[in-house]
């Protein structure tokens, strides 16, 4: 169960980070900075967690490669 939780948690944070980057790119709105302050300690923690989750999700490449070889 712990591994499944980590996968869903990481995926959710990375999706939130992607939406934030999309908002920055299209509308110049940084949602994290808007909600938690520009580079406050809380926003820095959120950015760090999104980055760590992105690194964790690099694991999914090996899962997809393994799944592709089975079929």
On the question of pLDDT at 1 being above 60, the answer is no
Which tops the pLDDT comparison, 1 or 7? 7
Neighbouring C-beta atoms of residue 17, cutoff 10 Å: 18
Place of tokens 């079929």: 71
Q: What pTM did the predictor assign?
A: 0.79
Residue 8 neighbours by CB under 8 Å, 6+ apart: none
- What's the rounded Cα separation, in Å, for the pair 55 and 13? 12
- pLDDT by residue (tens digit) across 4-58? 888 899 999 999 999 999 999 999 999 999 999 999 999 999 999 999 999 999 9
What's the pLDDT score for residue 61?
A: 82
How many Å apart are CA 29 and CA 11, to the nearest integer? 22
Which pLDDT score is estimated for 59? 85
């Amino acid at each position: 169960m712990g591994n499944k939780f980590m996968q869903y948690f990481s995926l959710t944070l990375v999706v939130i980070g992607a939406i934030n980057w999309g908002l920055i790119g299209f509308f110049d709105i940084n949602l994290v900075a808007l909600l938690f302050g520009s580079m406050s300690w809380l926003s820095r923690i959120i950015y760090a967690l999104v980055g760590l989750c992105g690194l964790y999700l690099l694991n999914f490449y090996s899962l997809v490669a393994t799944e592709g070889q089975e079929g």
